[in-house]
Amino acid sequence: MSVTSSVISLFLFLSLINNFSKCCIEAPYFGAPHLFQVTPPVDHAEGPTWDSRKDILYFVDIHAGDIYSLKFLTGELDSIHLNGEVTPVIPSKTDPEILIVGVDRNVVAVEWNGKSKFYRTKLLTTVSKQFPTSRFNDGKADKQGRLWFGTMGFEDSRGVTPNQGVLYKITRENLDDPEVMVAPVNISNGLTWNYANDKFYYIDTPTRKIVEYDYDDEKGAITNGRVVFDLALYDAIKGNPDGMTIDRDDNLWIALYGGWAVIKVDPRTGHLLQVVSIPAEAVTSVMWGGPNMDLLFVTTSRTSLSQEQRLRQPLAGSVFALAGLGTSGWQVFDADIVDKI
Ligand SMILES: *[C@@H]1O[C@H](CO)[C@@H](O)[C@H](O)[C@H]1NC(C)=O
């Protein structure tokens, strides 16, 4: 099935749900999630982010250095190529055509309309000069538009250079010397805030744990870190936690790298609520989007698969959308770090 036709079938499905929901106070919960492939495979899809101003899903192909924009309403997919490892990508508050992008250890503003091959860049800052082979990994903007971007040590087939990851908070004022929020870590990864914006959730992948902090939005401060979920307690669950988001009920959704699944976790009880299978073992990240914010976009990777595994997982590296999860999310925050470039 072509990408366009799978997007069309996704629309038919969604309009069906919307027609049902007109009759009721609450949209019915269909129980079984539906999975749609929304892009062809790339090497290592990561960092999905939804911009409801343009109905665009951005994501990156990290090692290829590519930024993609999926125009959700038409299924059109465009990309640009930067020099370096590219992640994350965060649209700007004042101008949706300025994307704030991690490129190796650099924070770069990229002016791109999401369509053409032309773009302009401006270097904003470089972090972790003491770890020259480290690079940015996951990141988001907070409600004030500050960047929370984390890094990880150099990775090859033997693993990741340990203790070289740092989670930074980057603001307009501290571009020359971004603030260290968590260090050292091994692989700085998924992060999100609860709806009340007084809790912050964070993943250092090899720990297999989710840590919750108290969050002060005015100061941009995190305190009292404590473990709220530990994958080691669930024998049947494989893989390590990677990207993460949160739903309108304040439950966490976590991509499992090496786990063939996305999981739903209640951070208040530490309970595993749901396991949703994905037809690729390396699930990298999750993000709510779509016109009703009720599709969970899921990125996957094939970069570390053998030839034989690639044959068995032909969809690995695709972006998927999960519909019918019975919940939805919020539009993520935009970066507020530059106005013009
Ligand atoms: C990073 O990984 C190394 C090797 O597994 C481990 O010894 C170290 O404690 C980890 N660092 C952190 C901050 O968890």
Contacts of 1 (CB under 8 A, 6+ apart): 9, 37
Q: For atom 4 of ligand 1, which residue has the closest CA?
A: 162
Residue 334 located in a structural domain: no
Contacts of 98 (CB under 8 A, 6+ apart): 91, 92, 109, 110, 111, 338, 340, 341
For ligand 1, say whether the CB of 164 is within 6 Å of any of its atoms: no
Residue 337 located in a structural domain: no
Note the pLDDT of residue 168.
99
For ligand 1, say whether the CB of 90 is within 6 Å of any of its atoms: no
pTM score: 0.92
Residue 227 located in a structural domain: yes
For ligand 1, say whether the CB of 185 is within 6 Å of any of its atoms: yes
Work out whether the CA dihedral 324, 71, 145, 203 comes out positive or negative: positive
- Whether 46 has a binding-site annotation, put simply, is yes
Note the pLDDT of residue 31.
65
DSSP letter for each residue of 64-118: TTEEEEEETTTTEEEEEE-SS-EEEEEEBSS-TTEEEEEETTEEEEEE--SSSS-
Residue 331 located in a structural domain: no
156 noted as active-site residue: no
Distance CA 69, CA 89 (A): 10
Distance CA 46, CA 257 (A): 11
Contact 83, 65 (CB under 8 A): yes
Residue 287 located in a structural domain: yes
Q: Give the pLDDT of the chain (341 residues) as one tens digit per residue.
A: 455 555 545 544 544 444 444 444 444 555 689 999 999 999 999 999 999 999 999 999 999 999 999 999 999 999 999 999 999 999 999 999 999 999 999 999 999 999 999 999 999 999 999 999 999 999 999 999 999 999 999 999 889 999 999 999 999 999 999 999 999 999 999 999 999 999 999 999 999 999 999 999 999 999 999 999 999 999 999 999 999 999 999 999 999 999 999 999 999 999 999 999 999 999 999 999 999 999 999 999 999 999 999 999 999 999 999 999 999 999 999 999 999 98
Note the pLDDT of residue 32.
83
Residue 316 located in a structural domain: yes
For ligand 1, say whether the CB of 186 is within 6 Å of any of its atoms: yes
Residue 208 CA, ligand 1 centroid: distance in Å:
12
Contact 140, 192 (CB under 8 A): yes
The CATH number of the domain where 115 resides is what? 2.120.10.30
Domain that holds residue 12: 3-323
Note the pLDDT of residue 315.
98
**Number of domains present in the structure of the chain:** 1
Residue 255 located in a structural domain: yes
Residue 86 CA, ligand 1 centroid: distance in Å:
24
Residue 87 located in a structural domain: yes
DSSP letter for each residue of 140-201: EE-TTS-EEEEEE--EETTEE-TT-EEEEEE-STTTTSPEEEEEEESBEEEEEE-TTS-EEE
